[in-house]
Amino acid sequence: MPGYRIEYSKTGRARWLSHLELIRTFIRALRRSGLPLVFSQGFNPHPRLSYCPSLGVGVAGLREYLDADLAAATPLPEGMASLGRQLPPGLEIGCLMELPPAAPGIGKAVNCAWYRLALPPEQTADAWQQAIDCLVGGSDPLYYKRPKDGKLFDVRSALSACRLTEVGGKRSEAGTVECGASPGAWRERTPALKEGEGLGLDLLVDFGDAAAPLRGIVETLLPLTEAAGCYEPARVTRMALLRHNGGLINPLGERKQLWEA
């Protein structure tokens, strides 16, 4: 029973789907596509699928993943086309790949995510850079308290790397990436950006026990600039899901540089 990994993007109107809504949408698209799904046993058979860590409602994702078991080997271009034709607006297939036998599932294949936050225009690049320096510069824990249950998260330790960038149009050529001594700790100097350009903040965030919610990171960062505003999911895009272990590798098995699409 071959396993397949589907890379897709979730943008436009589809960014507003919750994780459960997205799952149901994919299940029905797969059922319509005629791909030979493998079903669980029992009275209400479910197709055997696994999903990557969920995206917040309103957050777009450019490279998201879904693993599916199929009952028979399926030619990749045809499989991609038949599923692609069945997806509602905002969901698009990027790539379909057959998983090598015994490959780790998507849940194990990622441990961090690269988010890009489109920054509100009121603040200058300098102000943002200072905020970033303040955030990544210190080593004491910087806590975010989740409103719904009061749980504390250390924003600093959840953040592996961070840079200021331009959004829309050409991406800024980032400066040198400095890998810290411990694996997963990157530090980067961002070249100064011209005033008035659309600014974005790139964040490499860890999953796992220490994982601070994205909202927490953003809401910790924003006050450092004295910028008005709050976390707005529609400003956030998950650029990539990755696994870091000395270097970075994406779920399709490709090595990536930091901030490489």
Partner 1 sequence: MEQHDLDELLSHLEKPARYLGSEWNAVHKDWDRTAVRMAFAFPDLYEVGMSHLGLQILYGLVNAHPDYLMERVFAPAPDLEAELRRGGLPLFSLESHRPLRDFDLLGFTLQYELTFTNILNMIDLAGIPLMSCERSDADPLVIAGGPVAANPEPLAPFIDAFVIGEGEDALPEVLSVIRQAKESAGASLRARWSRQRLLEKLAGIPGVYIPSFYSVEYNKEGRVQGFTALRPELQSCVRRRLAPDLNDVFFPTAPVVPLAEAVHERGMLEVFRGCTRGCRFCQAGMIYRPVRERDPQTLLRQAREIIDKTGYEEISLVSLSSLDYSDLDGLLPALGDQCTLSRTGISLPSLRVDSFSVDIAQKLPGGRRTSLTLAPEAGTQRLRDVINKGVTEADLLEAVAAAAAAGWSAIKLYFMVGLPTETQADLEGIGDLVRKAQRAGRSARGGKKLRLSISASSFVPKAHTPFQWEGQLPRQQLTERHAFLRELVKSSGADYHWHDIKTSFLEASLARGDRRLAGVLFEAWRRGCRFDGWTEHFNFDLWQDSFRAAGLDPEFYAGRRLSYDEALPWDMIDVGIDREFLVREHRRALAGAATADCRLGSCEGCGVCPSFGVEPRLVKASTLDVSKG
Contact between 41 and partner 1 by CB under 8 A: the answer reads no
Gap between the Cα atoms of 68 and 107, Å rounded: 13
Nearest-approach distance from CB 11 to partner 1, in angstroms: 11
Of the candidates 87, 96, 89, 123, which has an alpha carbon nearest to the alpha carbon of residue 199?
123
Q: Does 92 bind partner 1 (CB under 8 A)?
A: no
Rule CB under 8 A: choose which of 1, 19, 31, 71 binds partner 1.
31
Q: Counting contacts by CB under 8 A, is residue 20 touching partner 1?
A: yes
Site residues for partner 1, 193-232, by CB under 8 A, read 232
- Residue 84 binds to partner 1 (criterion: CB under 8 A): no
Which residue lies nearer to partner 1 by CB, 85 or 108?
85
Question: Distance between CA atoms of 237 and 223, rounded to whole angstroms?
Answer: 21
CB nearer to partner 1: pick between 90 and 105: 90
One residue of 27, 179, 185, 249 binding partner 1 per CB under 8 A? 27
Q: Is 29 in the site for partner 1 (CB under 8 A)?
A: yes
Determine phi and psi for 19, rounding to 5 degrees: -60, -45
Write the DSSP assignment of 97-144 as a string of letters. Answer: EEPPTTPPPHHHH-SEEEEEEEPPTTS-HHHHHHHHHHHHH--S--EE
Q: Is 111 in the site for partner 1 (CB under 8 A)?
A: no
Q: State the residue for tokens 């069945």.
A: 86
One of 21, 133, 178, 254 touching partner 1 (CB under 8 A): 21
Distance in Å, CB of 231 to partner 1, minimum: 10
Pairing of strands 199-206, 112-118: antiparallel
- Sequence-distant (6+) residues with CB within 8 A of 193 are 125, 164, 165, 166, 172, 199
Q: Which of 44, 139, 176, 182 binds partner 1 (CB under 8 A)?
A: 44
Q: Return residues touching partner 1 (CB under 8 A).
A: 12-14, 16-18, 20-21, 24-25, 27-32, 39, 43-45, 57-58, 86, 88-90, 232-234
